[in-house]
Each structure stands twice: as structure tokens, then as C-alpha cells.
Structure 1
Amino acid sequence: MRAIAIALAFVVSLTSTSLAQTWPAHTIRLVVNFPPGGAADLLARLIGQSLSETFGQPVVVENKAGANGNLGGEAVARSAPDGYTLLMSSGSMVAINPYLYAKMPFDPAKDLVPVASVARVPFYLVVRTENPALDFKAFVADLKANPGKRNFGSPGIGSSPHLAAEMLKKMTGTEAVHVPYRGAAPALNDLLAGQIDFLFDPGIAIEHVKAGKLRALAIGSLQRSPQLPEVPTLEELGLTGFDADAVFGVYAPAGTSADIIARLNSEINRALATAALTERIMAVGNIPATMSPDQFREKSREDSKRFGAIIREKGITAGN
């Protein structure tokens, strides 16, 4: 029996290696579990173009938004593990959603495998330029003077920007009303239109900051942003340890060949090291981040502990 088991393992290994050598032979589908225009969508299109050039096969980006990323995540988790269906997602779908939903339609930690991180996404606290709060101190003073009268947008309940705002409220002793959207782009549009008062933006607002339409008061990272180096971190402004960064990356269905995952990781990391892709990722306010699949998995575990604490404390659920 032992000899048979070893032989079967050898055959599986050969089959996996053979598959990886011939892959990809046709179009790859890269599912984005958020709407067009947001950070995940922009990163998917940049990485998809690079992979298409490398592999000589089309990489088609498909947006499948809903349920805070669960719809797209489930679609990929239930796809054939052949390397032809991949997912571009924020880390929140894997690290945060299990805390938000009493019953998940799938288990992100078991049904998906991390392939490669793509970018660290800092969140910028932004307001319209006509907002009288010229700096963070004045912003907090306004919130305290108007408890529950100001509102903020986010890409959805329990999204990283939502949790960043909840952390801000907790650490400043303020209140504001949460307005969830189906993605970062719709939230940004309503901020520009004056429908909401502020938000933590994943970088797509930077062009509006530079154009003078929005004002960046702070960044929710432990380090300043190279795109807006003059904007202080919230830690510098007195919120010790404030870290709301998220890591966006590529996932595959569980059971996908380790050789295919290794090749994807290598090619994505190689692309991220090029000046052209680095410049384009930085242009949308993100920072290229290369990791091995194991490092990416460990980062998700760390984020899960950090954000899970605020979710439990605030009693946030997907039904809120």
C-alpha cells in the first residue's frame, strides 16, 4: 500500500509539473470583487496587462461586486483550480468578512489560496476644500462640536476604510454617521458632490487633492505617503499606533497547482519591480508590495487580529 501511495504521489507531481509547463494555454479571467474605478480594479488592470504581455495570453478583468467582496470571492473559490480564474481583492475580504457575516457562503481562508500581494494601500483622510477644517485638529474639533451630525462614506460595511473611520472615532472620542457604498469610487463621487463630509480614501482621490478639489488632512498609516509626503500620519497627530493599511493582492481557488502559484508569484513580483509598473501604482496612491504566498498569508492573519478587535468592540455586522 505504501508503494502504491508513493507511486500515486509521484504521478500527481508529474501531472502538476506538466500542467504548469503548458499553462497558460488560453485566456485567464481575473475577477475583481469590487466595482470599476476603485483600488482593486485599477490594480487588477495594471497587473492583468503585465501578465498578458508576459504569458502571451489575454487576461480579462471581470468586475463582480457585492456583499463586501464576497460575491466575487465565492465565484473564484468555486471555480476550477486550473489557474485560469484568479481573484484580485482587498485583504479585507479574507481577513475581515468572516467577522462581519454570521454565515459566510464560503471560507476565504480554506477555499482560496494567496498567490501574490500587489500593493500596500494607505488610506487618506480627505474632505472637500470648502470644508472649514483646514487641518486635523480643526477637523476633530468640528466633529466634537457636532456629534452625529457629520457623515462619512466607505466602500462598504466592514471595509478597511470603514474600520479606519471607526478607529478614528474611538481614538478621538467623536461620533459620525457611516454611509456605506458599493465601492470606493461611488463614495468618492458623493464626497466631491457634497453628499458626505469625509472619507478614508484608498488613493483614487489623490488626483483631486492635487487639483485642489479635496484636502488631505492625514494618512492612516505608520509612514507618510511618498505621493503626498507633506501629509502627516495620524500617529504623528497624536493617535498612537494608528495603522489602517490594507494589502491588495491576487488569490486562486484552493487546489490550484503549487507550480502555477509559484510561477504567478514570480511573474507578479517581477512586474512590480519594474519602474513602469511602480510608477503607475504609485500614481493611484498605492505602494508596490511584493511577498511570497506564505508571507501574504501571514499578513492576512495579522490584519485579521487587528481589525477583528475593532469589529467585535463596535459590534459591527454586515447587517448594520
Structure 2
Amino acid sequence: MSATRRGVLAAGLALPAVARAQTAWPDRPIRLVIPFGAGGPTDVVGRLIADPVAAALGQPVVIENRAGAGGNIGSRDVARAAPDGNTLVLNAASPLVINQWLYRDMGYDPLTAFAPISMLITGPLLVIANPRAPFSTMGELVAEARRRPGAINVANAGIGTVPHLAAELFMRAAGVQMTPVTYRITPQATQSVLTGETHLFFDSPASITHVQSGAVKALAVTTPRRFAPFPNIPTVAESGGPEIAVEAWYGLLAPAGTPPDRVARLHAAFSAAVRRPEVQSRLAAIGYEGVGNTPEEFGRAIAAEAARWGEVIRAAGVRME
């Protein structure tokens, strides 16, 4: 065989490998948008799983906090991004299933603008109170709120957030009135309970660290059954309050139209990350459990949650200022 023929044959055999290299994905860092401020539960979870996901995908995961408008700003940014799998949003429930009932124009339709990838984690809300608050159980809280309507201040991390609506749901179920105090981000609302500026907060389970340090007292978890990582903390009903069920969940989405093969690869990488034993252990320490369900399951959950919270918002008459 001549040198020329050998060279042509070698070039031909190399073409498939070159083509594969050219189409390999991801070929640049993954941008993971957190539509809330740094230090909140969504941010904590994103940073916890970023490294194992980066190892699985072979590209860095760059976290970008874009807070504002109840999570709408960062979510809208991703909804309008190129559907190539390189820009993702790690979202809480509010921008996906709640804000559509509160905002006249969010700039995107949460039920059509995204390709669901996976609900990554879930956990209860943890009802915390300042140690000097005149109640230590949900039953005592109800009694105090009935004795002094409006005198108890309950923090929230924004109108229409899950903690805000959980407090509204509780007040309606218990037949009491408390005064909502709105903060911009979760850490500010938590801090308000620590300092005594507010009496209580339906907080993310990450506030268990403040319970363990004695900085706040835990009244209840908002799940129907006790939460395994906090076996000694009663449910709202066990603590003397009404039956309510609220969970905090966080999920991963890409812009609608992202190729299914890329959605599948992202699902594999992120769901495997939340199932790693060391990640599960760290999630449990801050009150969460890894889920990692399928894109189809997550899509159905979003639709069901949207319908549920729409009913709560209409019943409570919640409106944006």
C-alpha cells in the first residue's frame, strides 16, 4: 500500500473520532442559576452538589445568584436562555408553582418555559421561635394568638414564598391572626427570629443548626409525620396545632426545547449527586432528603403543586403590593 493510500485511510478512520470530539457535550462550564440570594437553602444545596456534578459532566458548574421578584428574575433569565443544556436553574417552589397566581406578568410561563429535569431534594418547614417567645408548642402559640390577635409577628422571606403561605395556611386552619413581617431573603427572616425582631418563622429545615445551638426553639415540622433527621421534633398536629402539610422542595430545570439526550445526561449527573452517601449525610444534617426523581415525575409534581397553591392563595386572598 502506498504512503498516499495509507494517509487517506488513516484520515478516514480518524473522521468519526473528530466528529465525536466536535459534538461532545458539555464543551464548556455549566451555568447554574440560583434565583435567590446567597446563603439561602437553594444556594446551599446548589453549592453542595456542584462538585460531584462537575466531576460527572467533566465541566465546572458555575453558580450564579440572581435574586429578585420572588425568584422571577433569575428564572426568567434561564427561561430565555439558549436551550442547549448549558444554562440551568435550581429552583424552589415559588417561581414554579406560586408566583403565577401573584404576579400579573412574570415574563415567562412556568408550566411551559422549562424542561423539568429532577426534583432534587425535599424537607419539611421547621417552625422556629425566639427563645423568649411566650409559647413553646403550637398549641401554646394558638392560645397566645387567640388571646392577643395580631400581637405575634411571623417572619417570611417574601410575599408568596412557601414559608409565607405556610403561615397563612396555619392561621386559616387554626382560626388565628398573626402579623406577617416580610424580609427579602431567608437568612434575613431567620435572623429576625434570632434577634427577637419577630416571634417565629416557618423556616427551611437548614435552621436546625440554630435549634441545636439553642439560639432558637423548634416548635414543629410541617410534614404529616415526623421527619427522620429530626425524630424528636413533633408535627404541627402533635404539638397542639391544626393538621397542615407543607414541604420545601427544590428542583432542576433547563429551558424548554433542551434536547432530550442532554436532559437525560443532566438528570443522571444531578440525581446521582444527591444520592451520594456523603451528600445524603450532609443534606440530613441540614434537614433535607435527596429525591432525584425523573423528569416526567417532576413535571407532574409541578402541575399538581401549582393547582394546590392556587387554591390556597385564592382562599387566603394573598396579593402582591
Relative to the length of structure 1, the TM-score reads 0.90
Which residue does 1:80 correspond to in 2? 82
Which residue does 2:8 correspond to in 1? none
Which residue does 2:49 correspond to in 1? 47
> Are 1:96 and 1:307, in contact at CA under 8 Å, matched by a contact in 2?
yes
- Matched AA of 2:46: A
- Match of 2:159, SS? coil
Percentage identity across paired residues of the two chains: 34
CA distance in 1 between partners of 2:224 and 2:23 (Å): 42
Tell me the CA shift for residue 239 of structure 1: 5.3
Tell me the CA shift for residue 140 of structure 1: 1.3
- Which one is further off, 303-312 or 20-29? 20-29
CA distance in 2 between partners of 1:19 and 1:160 (Å): 44
- Which one is further off, 62-71 or 175-184? 175-184
> Are 2:137 and 2:240, in contact at CA under 8 Å, matched by a contact in 1?
no
> Are 1:86 and 1:250, in contact at CA under 8 Å, matched by a contact in 2?
yes
> Are 2:76 and 2:106, in contact at CA under 8 Å, matched by a contact in 1?
no
Residue number among 297, 301, 304 corresponding to 2:303 in the alignment: 301
CA distance in 2 between partners of 1:212 and 1:108 (Å): 39
> Are 2:139 and 2:241, in contact at CA under 8 Å, matched by a contact in 1?
no
- Matched AA of 2:215: K
- Which one is further off, 77-86 or 268-277? 268-277
Q: Deviations for 1:148-188, whole angstroms, at most 9, x for unmatched residues?
A: 11111112111111110001100111111111222211110
CA distance in 2 between partners of 1:148 and 1:54 (Å): 51
CA distance in 1 between partners of 2:117 and 2:142 (Å): 40
Which residue does 1:71 correspond to in 2? 73
- Matched AA of 1:109: L
Residue number among 297, 317, 320 corresponding to 1:318 in the alignment: 320
Tell me the CA shift for residue 56 of structure 1: 2.2
1:112 aligns to 2:114 (yes or no): yes
Stretches of 4+ aligned residues off by more than 2 angstroms: 18-21, 235-241
Q: Deviations for 1:262-288, whole angstroms, at most 9, x for unmatched residues?
A: 111112121222111101111111111
Tell me the CA shift for residue 91 of structure 1: 1.9
Structure with larger Rg: 2
The CA RMSD over aligned residues, in Å, is 1.8
CA distance in 1 between partners of 2:65 and 2:156 (Å): 18
- Match of 2:112, SS? helix
> Are 1:34 and 1:182, in contact at CA under 8 Å, matched by a contact in 2?
no
> Are 2:139 and 2:240, in contact at CA under 8 Å, matched by a contact in 1?
no
For structure 2, the 5+ residue unaligned runs are 1-19
Q: Deviations for 1:16-61, whole angstroms, at most 9, x for unmatched residues?
A: xx79961111111100011111111111111222211222211111
Tell me the CA shift for residue 121 of structure 1: 2.7
Q: Deviations for 1:79-107, whole angstroms, at most 9, x for unmatched residues?
A: 11111110011022111111111222111
Which residue does 2:40 correspond to in 1? 38
For structure 1, the 5+ residue unaligned runs are 1-17
User: Across the two proteins, how many residue pairs are aligned to each other?
Assistant: 303
Relative to the length of structure 2, the TM-score reads 0.90
> Are 1:121 and 1:248, in contact at CA under 8 Å, matched by a contact in 2?
no
Residue number among 185, 188, 191 corresponding to 1:186 in the alignment: 188
Tell me the CA shift for residue 143 of structure 1: 1.1
CA distance in 2 between partners of 1:213 and 1:48 (Å): 30
- Match of 2:105, SS? coil
> Are 2:70 and 2:159, in contact at CA under 8 Å, matched by a contact in 1?
yes
Which residue does 2:158 correspond to in 1? 156
